[in-house]
Amino acid sequence: MVKNTEVTLSAVAGDQLRSPSGALVIGVGQGTDGPVLLSNPLTAKAAEALAESLGVLGITGAADQAHRLPGLSEAGAKVLVLAGVGKVSGSQRVTEETLRRAAGSAVRQLAGVGTVTLALPTSSLGDVAAVAEGAAMGAYSFTEHRSSKADLKDPVKNVMIVTDFAADKGLKPVLDRAALIGKAVNATRTLVNQPPSHLYPESFAEAAKELSKGLPVKVTVWDEKRLDKEGFGGILGVGKGSTRQPRLVKVEYSPARATAKIALVGKGITFDTGGISLKPHLGMGDMKSDMAGAAVVLNTVLAIAGLGLPVKATAWLCIAENMPSGAAQRPADVLTMFGGKTVEVLNTDAEGRLVMADGLVAASQEFPDAIIDVATLTGAQLIALGDRTAGVMGSDSVTGPIKAAADRAGELVWPMPLPDELRPSLDSQVADLANIGERHGGMMTAAVFLREFVGKGRDGEQIPWAHIDIAGPSFNNGSPYGYNHKQGTGCTVRTLVAYVEDILAKTA
């Protein structure tokens, strides 16, 4: 099911620029006085002539611009591409995220070209890593359901990065990590992009097994019978309206010398009609992406395993299809969740928190050092933070490091509070709590609900926990930008991998 796209990454020094290539990419920035040609491996004469021609050619250096010109004989490329990086200042170096976006945008727009050479400025191995990551994420396409691909362009297959670090001993692990991160992000995108006719609870579980092949991980699947026997009332309640029965999937990576233990819980609603509390028809097709959180945590654990990081990482994929039928749960029904708490279902469209509650309890029973859940949970997230910024809520000891990891990874995440006054709004007249509460600040109210299901550690205190709401940034309905294509973005995978690496760096 998961036909992933991958790119081969390599590096060359500037004096080896004659290596055959379909296109050579050079950066152009928006300076205060007009377009600025960034540092590049061209001869001084060629660079000077090119710089003087930028304005005449209508090149501004704006982000996502990619102007194609005839190639230069000295460059060994058929086409010269001037890629915009956005605003630049003579006193500041180009940031890693700017490089990541410029590389991804150029590679994305050069689909159909077999080999691309990226000659963006790299003053550190971190810069090289950013260029490589951007290229790996830009080289993506999702075409498996097309009957004809005659008019479609294949993504770039080979990327050469021009850098002074080409002979550096530290370069190979940098490129290997970038390729693996790109693979994880693209696999997440492919799962999100799958139509609900093809991705449903059972097939999602099979996809998890397929993606895990060759990696040192263990995959355990709960079918509907085992879910019922063990009392996973949230997942069963949401899924019982569909003919396609729910699943819980556990993906474990347990290296022998793990120095930390983390649990990741992901919302996996393969299609969300809203259930009996039916959604409006407009935009309902986007609800195929309501399983993005589960795709994120799955591929994060697989990336951690692929990198061989010394941390025990477990992903819990809470998978169901939320459909209206004679068998579906009703508003006012009461569910008994895994662990025994009861929930009155006042709105069947607030279903993600129900499946996640079961996953949080299950994750808590293994006493991890921290639990992070990821979900396309609320429309309120889009209202509060827009289409590109995820909200993170929970324990300060987890949310702070997640924000720092996101900044390092180049993803947009913003911490939000969990005010005490929101909890009483979840009180129920007939159960332990209701699944909806205060409408204003709904993103935070949903997180307060989830917090009720985070268990205590061996020390008797609540396990450190964070909730990441990716309702907006997980799915791009607008135009492609940077390394992001239309539809699934694969957001948060990079942040979570960086979070784990940061934890390990502190314990080393």
Asked if residue 91 has pLDDT above 90, the reply is no
Could you give the CA distance from residue 498 to residue 508 in angstroms, rounded to a whole number? 15
Is residue 208 within 8 A of residue 247, CB to CB? The reply is no
Residues linked to residue 316 through DSSP beta bridges, in sequence order = 250, 265
What integer pLDDT is reported at residue 86 of this predicted model?
A: 95
Convert the pLDDT of each residue in 178-188 to its tens digit. Answer: 999 999 999 99
> Known binding site for Mn(2+): residues?
267, 272, 290, 349, 351
CA proximity to 144, closest of 1, 271, 321: 1
Tokens 């692990």 correspond to what residue?
Answer: 173
Note the residue count of the chain.
508
d(CA 384, CA 472): 10
Mean pLDDT confidence for 97-122 = 97
Which residue bears the tokens 């307060």? 448
- The Cα–Cα gap between 115 and 9 comes to 10
Reduced to 3 DSSP states, what percent helix, strand and coil does the chain have, rounded to the nearest 5? 35, 25, 40
Average pLDDT on 328-356 reads 98
**Residue 254 confidence (pLDDT):** 98
Region 80-93: what's the mean pLDDT?
90
- Cα–Cα distance, 389 to 471 (Å, whole number): 9
- Report the half-sphere exposure of 168 (CA within 13 A, side-chain side): 21
Mean pLDDT of 64-80: 88
Angle of helix 442-451 relative to helix 352-364, nearest 10 degrees, comes to 30
Per-residue pLDDT tens over the stretch 361-411: 999 999 999 999 999 999 999 999 999 999 999 999 999 999 999 999 999
For the annotated binding site, the residues are 267, 272, 290, 349, 351
- How far out from the chain centre does Cα 143 lie? 20
pLDDT at site 74:
74
Could you tell me where the beta strands, DSSP code E, fall in 164-295?
217-222, 247-253, 261-272
Checking if the pLDDT of 9 tops 70, the result is yes
Mode of pairing for the β-strands spanning 390-394 and 413-415: parallel
Q: Which two tokens stand for residue 25?
A: 């990419």
Let me know if 361 is exposed, middle or buried by CB neighbors in 10 A (0-12, 13-18, 19+).
Answer: buried
How far apart CA 5 and CA 186 sit, in angstroms, is 7
Alpha carbons 382 and 353: distance in angstroms, whole number: 17
pLDDT above 90: residue 489: yes
Contact partners, residue 203, CB within 8 Å, separation at least 6? 1
The tally of CA atoms less than 13 A away on the side-chain side of residue 8 is 4
Give the Å distances, CA to CA, from 100 to 63, 137, 161, 209, 411: 11, 9, 12, 31, 11
Q: Give me 350's structure tokens.
A: 């607030």
DSSP 121-176: --SSHHHHHHHHHHHHHHS----TT-S--TTPPPPP-EEEEE-TTTT-TTHHHHHH
User: Which tokens sit at 349?
Assistant: 């469209």
Tell me what pLDDT residue 14 has. 80
Determine phi and psi for 78, rounding to 5 degrees: -70, -30
CA distance 266 to 317: 5
pLDDT band at 428 (very low <50, low <70, confident <90, very high): very high
Q: With 0-12 CB in 10 A as exposed, 13-18 as middle and 19+ as buried, what is 91?
A: exposed
Identify the three-state secondary structure at position 485.
coil
pLDDT in tens, 113-128: 999 999 999 999 999 9
Span 196-234, pLDDT tens digits: 999 999 999 999 999 999 999 999 999 999 999 999 999
Residue-wise pLDDT tens digits, 36-71: 999 999 989 989 999 999 989 999 999 999 999 998
To the query of whether residue 423 is one of the catalytic residues in this protein, the response is no
> What average pLDDT does this structure show over 83-109?
94
pLDDT for res 5? 76
- Specify the pTM: 0.97
Is 353 in the active site?
yes
Name the 3-class secondary structure at 257.
Answer: coil
| Distance, CA of 476 to CA of 490 (rounded, Å) | 10
CA–CA separation, 208 vs 214, rounded Å? Answer: 12
User: Where along the chain do the CATH 3.40.630.10 domains lie?
Assistant: 184-507
- What is the C-alpha to C-alpha distance for residues 175 and 341, in angstroms, rounded to an integer? 47
Rounded average pLDDT over 431-442: 96
Residue 337: pLDDT band (50, 70, 90) is: very high
For tokens 């935070």, the residue is 444
pLDDT greater than 80 at residue 90: no
DSSP state of 277: S
pLDDT at 243 over 90: yes
At 133-190, the pLDDT tens digits run 999 999 999 999 998 888 899 999 999 999 999 999 999 999 999 999 999 999 999 9
Q: What is the pLDDT of residue 4?
A: 75
Catalytic residue (choose from 108, 183, 288, 353): 353
Angle between helix axes 171-193 and 125-138 (nearest 10 degrees) is 30
Among the options 261, 279, 341, 486, which is catalytic? 279
Write down the CATH number for the domain with range 184-507: 3.40.630.10
The CATH number of the domain covering residues in 8-163: 3.40.220.10
CB atoms closer than 10 angstroms to residue 206: 17
Q: What pLDDT does residue 469 have?
A: 98
* Three-class secondary structure of residue 249 per DSSP: strand
Rounded to whole angstroms, the Cα distance separating 405 from 495 reads 5
- SS3 of 49, please? helix
Residue 33: CB atoms within 10 Å: 5
Q: Report pLDDT for 1.
A: 66
Q: CA–CA separation, 121 vs 117, rounded Å? A: 13
Domain(s) of CATH 3.40.220.10: residues in the chain: 8-163
